[in-house]
Chains A and B, each alone.
Chain A
Amino acid sequence: MSTNTRAVAAGQTRAEVRRHRRRLPEGKRAERRLGWLLCAPAVIVMIAVTAYPIVYAVYLSLQRYDLRFPSQATFIGLGNYAAVLSSPYWWQALKVTVIITVFSVAIELVLGMLLALLMHRTLFGRGTVRTSILIPYGIVTVAAAFSWQYAWTPNEGYLSAAFNNSAPLTKTVTAIAIIILAEVWKTTPFMGLLLLAGLSLVPEDLQKAAKVDGATAWQRFVRITLPLMKPAILVALLFRTLDAFRIFDNIFVLTQGGNNTYSVSILGYDNLFTALNLGIGSAISILIFICVAIIAFLFIKGFGAAVPGSAMGR
């Protein structure tokens, strides 16, 4: 630390602080300061975009605040929450969101595991498979959603034509099935790649030893591969469950939330941009945030999913 002659006025207190700090070696202190300095820009941006707005959302959610009459904003306590939680729209949206989340994640887990096994074990064409499945992962969700929408449009789409010119997007159950299909197609590759990474950590020797001992392929998978892959599976499930719960793009394009196919995110969006109600919209935002926090908590505490990055600091 350079000596500073300007600090005469504050000299007394500063000297005390220095004496106190001197317990740490000079190098350690410089390292700390550098560490904080390097992280500061990233931390500031992240706080500005997430922490501050979420606190502001809590404040907004306690107000009656209609964008058309901004001067009439008044504090109404938990009124907005009561309004949302007693509304059938919220519960319908939550039901749809949970159904889509559970089905798409379950299907993705099975298909993703098959895909991972294929990429791990196939005899040839591994690179081609990997390249092809990265396209669904990378493609803009909205573009893919339009492809599915047109495919299921009567008199226009090949899939609709293949199913007796049906119009599945106009009925609740079939529309939700197609939303799940679009979601599964788009995100199974991600699941597959995460599981593949877990699969490659399973030692080959164990498999061979079990084979010598006469274990069948299925027994080896259930008794050796699955238990060793548990951490990778839990992380993949955690990521995908939270991601599926936030579903927005696919529904926005496929049905616009019509026929009772709206998710909680669609409901929140509509409340802001069609009802122009900041208070109710913020209450929905906070409720979704709480749902996501509960899901994450259940995975991490309940199932013991290792928090990704928890080993990073070591």
Chain B
Amino acid sequence: MATTVKQRVGWGSANIVAVVAALIPVLWIASLSFKDPATITDPSFLPHTWTWANYRGIFSSSLFTRPLLNSIGIGIIATFIAVVLASLAAYAVARLDFPGKQVLIGMCLLIAMFPIISLVTPLFSIERALHLFNTWPGLIIPYIAFGLPLGIYILSAFFREIPWELEKAAKVDGATPFQAFTKVIAPLAAPGMVTTAILVFLFCWNEFLFAISLTSTTAARTAPAALAFFTGSSQFAVPTGSISAAAVVITIPIIIFVLFFQRRIVAGLTSGAVKG
């Protein structure tokens, strides 16, 4: 198809508008994080003098480093368990015939739509009684539960696409069942599991309402929750710079994920809604 100059300019400017609109708020918070405290009240988009002071400030205080550690630990553990449990269930949904399958799918849908605030009050009460309040498991367990529907959707869509006859073929060729699984099926299932892991981790990383309701100190509070209650790295500092620097730090993993796994994320996000 021949393209005219006019078409190229038209689509090009549309592209630029979309990219700029998506990135400006991110660039603004990054710029704020490099402004020094004296000039932070200067509304210019870029800092006049650049400084690392805000980053040094947040990393010298456990008010931020501890929640960051909590976020990473809770996110990784919850993601790992959710992906394992979702894989088991998704294998059953994709490959086996058993009564109650529709109930399971309906349940996943219900949880995907569940208003988290409705659970905050009862879970607050239950977790205090079970001494899970303000602990890692106290957040990990709800995160697994909310990661599971997403995982079961994505993985059962992926598992259905796997040519399972290959497993039989490998066995005919003399492979043991274990070899057939590790050499043939696992490599085919891996992309789906990576996609699921990324999306579940993003959910845990992003989650805010459970994180502020089911924790009370930095023992288990995650980074986004800590951010919202930040009062600056010292008592006298204006928190704007510290909050901006912390916001940038928790955005970095997301940017890395997006740059490396763009296709996977898009495939995962849309597989549940369209293929399902």
Q: Do A and B bind each other?
A: yes
Given contacts A141-B208, A288-B115, is CB(A31)–CB(B97) below 8 Å?
Answer: yes
* Interface membership of A3, Cβ < 8 A: no
The distance in angstroms between the C-alpha atoms of A197 and B3, with both chains bound, is: 25
Across the interface, A147 reaches (CB within 8 A) one of B28, B121, B156, B205, namely: B28
Interface residue? B273 (CB, 8 A): yes
**In residues 27-80 of chain A, which contact B (Cβ within 8 Å)?**
28, 31-32, 34-36, 38-39, 41-43, 45-46, 48-50, 52-54, 56-57, 60
The smallest beta-carbon distance between B172 and chain A, in angstroms, is: 19
- The 8 A CB mask of B127-170 against A (1 = contact, 0 = none) is 00000000000000110111011001100110000000000000
* B14 lies within 8 A of chain A by Cβ: yes
Interface SS of A by simple majority? helix
Assess whether B52 is interfacial by the CB under 8 Å rule. Answer: no
B243-A146 in contact (CB<8A): yes
Chain A residues numbered 159-174 whose CB sits less than 8 Å from any CB in chain B? 160-161
A151 and B28 within 8 A (CB): yes
B22 within 8 A of A: yes
Of B55-63, B99-107, B173-181, B182-190, the segment with at least 4 beta carbons within 8 Å of chain A is B99-107
B14-A41 in contact (CB<8A): no
Binding site for A on B (CB under 8 A): 3, 7-8, 11-12, 14-15, 18-19, 21-23, 25-26, 28-29, 32, 40-45, 85-86, 88-89, 91-93, 96-102, 104-105, 107-111, 113-126, 141-142, 144-146, 148-149, 152-153, 156-157, 202, 205-206, 208-209, 212-213, 223-225, 227-228, 240, 243-244, 247-248, 250-251, 254-255, 257-259, 262, 265-266, 269-270, 272-274, 276
Q: Give A residues with C-beta under 8 Å from B.
A: 28, 31-32, 34-36, 38-39, 41-43, 45-46, 48-50, 52-54, 56-57, 60, 115, 118, 121-125, 127-144, 146-148, 150-151, 155-158, 160-161, 185, 189-190, 193-194, 196-198, 201, 232, 235-236, 239, 242, 245-246, 248-249, 252-253, 264-265, 268-269, 272-273, 278, 281-282, 284-286, 288-289, 292, 296, 307-313
